[in-house]
Amino acid sequence: MSKRTVLITGGSSGLGFKAAAVLATDSSSHVVITARTERRIATQDARIGAEGMVVDLASLDGVRKFAERFVDGERPPLRAIVCNAGLQNIGAPVVTRDGYEQTFAVNHLGHFLLVNLLIDAIDAPGRIVVVSSNTHDPSQKTGMPAPRYSGALELADPDGGWAGSDSESVAGRRRYTTSKLCNVLFAYELDRRIRGRGISVNAFDPGMMPGTGLARDYPLVQRLGWKLILPALTLTSRNINTPGQSGRALAHLISDPLLEGLSGRYWSGMEEIRSSDESYDPVQALELWNGSTEVVRNAGITMRPLGEL
């Protein structure tokens, strides 16, 4: 089998790194991992035999320049993109250099632009996996506030006020769960737009993963629980996993030949399940797509229309 490239954003640590390490053991895969800075990549790519590249998903122009460098690079044809990088800010909204709310910008908008810019570089049969979270689904009772989708333009606006009367802590967590809903909406809308091109698109829930950096902004007691108590539950709980367990499941979605052609699905680990009821709303998914396109254009970046509906 000829060698092909797998691109994983946020691949220098946690879930992305564990998935990259699994995929890098396959001699037919050239794995590219990204991080926000050279320091975060340093030595990690060499550890697993991957190629490291820098991209700041909070900067739309940075994403555009990264896509240009990636396409111009000398590497095997692109087989898969894993939209994995993400963050959670607890407290007041953080504003990107583009003027957008950071959680929405990194977790959704940067990946939306990246995939649109690289879609033509993917060789069929190809795969795209968008990493979401079960926190996007209120029925899962994760303890996180339910997402509150209010339109892409308002979600991008750090002063949009869409979180209403939430406290700063609740608003920060709601921004996260809403961005994870956007991940699923984006995956399903992308699947609808590129059907027939030989590229599958799926959303993935890695489960709760203690040991990652998502809880770094939490109060001390919650951080201690995340670090000391939750790891023990990975032995007994269905949806609390180590990064290694979830990394193997994510790599499985990219590499298993039996999954070829399966698209528009939602996976919890290695099990296909239903996502939230709201995530199947095509009107909302279309609004997210069109609104995200407008946000990108407002930043001065032109995208070729992809399967306009």
How confident is the model over 103-156, as pLDDT tens digits? 999 999 999 999 999 999 999 999 999 999 999 999 998 899 999 999 999 999
**pTM here?**
0.90
My answer on whether omega of the bond before 206 falls inside 30° of 0, hence cis, is: no
Are the C-beta atoms of residues 116 and 306 closer than 8 Å to each other? yes
Domains of the chain: 4-298 (3.40.50.720)
How confident is the model over 193-223, as pLDDT tens digits? 999 999 999 999 999 756 555 555 555 444 4
Per-residue pLDDT averaged across 53-78, rounded?
A: 97
Q: How far is CA 215 from the centre of its chain?
A: 17
Residues paired with residue 240 on neighbouring β-strands, in sequence order: 208
> What DSSP string runs through 121-149?
GEEEEEEEEEE--GGG-GGG--SSPPP--
How confident is the model over 158-206, as pLDDT tens digits? 998 888 889 988 999 999 999 999 999 999 999 999 999 999 999 999 9
224: pLDDT strictly greater than 70? no
